[in-house]
Amino acid sequence: MNWDWSAVADFMPRFWDGVLITLQILVLGSLISFTLGLVWAIGFRAPTRFVRWPVNLVTEFIRTTPLLVQLFFLFFVLPEWGVQFSALTTGTIAIGLHYSTYTAQVYRAGIEAVPAGQWEAATALSLPAHRTWVAVILPQAIRRITPALGNYVIAMLKDTPLLAAIGVLEMLQQSRLESASTFQYTEPLTVIGIAFILIAYPASLLVRTLERRLVR
């Protein structure tokens, strides 16, 4: 097999477009999952069961449903109800929503790991609920769970190719389009595989570094 460098050069414009779209999905999807995951986690601890039960039901349903099914539902079913987004927006929302149910469990574990004495101290100082969460509980919880959250960012990166099912032109879909037009598969797919490694491996090293520093 001869490696065709001209095929790689021709693929580069599509490749960089795919990289930018993939990173956009990853960054915005992570923000959605981290923010919404915290909302779910706080909902788990709501004083009334009329909040806790729906939160548990919704998150359990999302977590146990395949991401691909959720993608199709958001992209093909919601427009029938008058709610329609672009493929990129839909994919980003879907991946953020899906992983928010996982980050919620991470937040939950971190919050429950905060010593009971911290809650009691906040109560003794008559701190309002929002102040207790922001100033006392969350800083300690997030310190413990940052490495686990980082692992889910890497997992989201590896799931971005699923968004090609609804027409999002992320890295893998760009390689498929290039291969379909040139009938050369080795070079585009190899470049994409290397790109995923170059993005994921430094991210995993960063997660390990954070873990070592935060557990001290």
Output the pLDDT for position 215.
60
Compute the chain's Rg from CA coordinates: 21
What span, in angstroms and rounded, lies between the C-alpha atoms of 61 and 57?
6
Q: What is the pLDDT of residue 78?
A: 92
**Under 8 Å between Cβ of 8 and 191:** yes
Exposed, middle or buried, 40 (CB in 10 Å: 0-12/13-18/19+)?
buried
* Mean pLDDT per 10-residue interval, the chain, length 216 residues: 74 89 94 95 88 93 94 94 92 96 92 84 80 82 83 92 91 87 86 89 80 66
Residue that has been written with the tokens 């686990």 in this structure: 148
Q: What is the pLDDT of residue 80?
A: 92
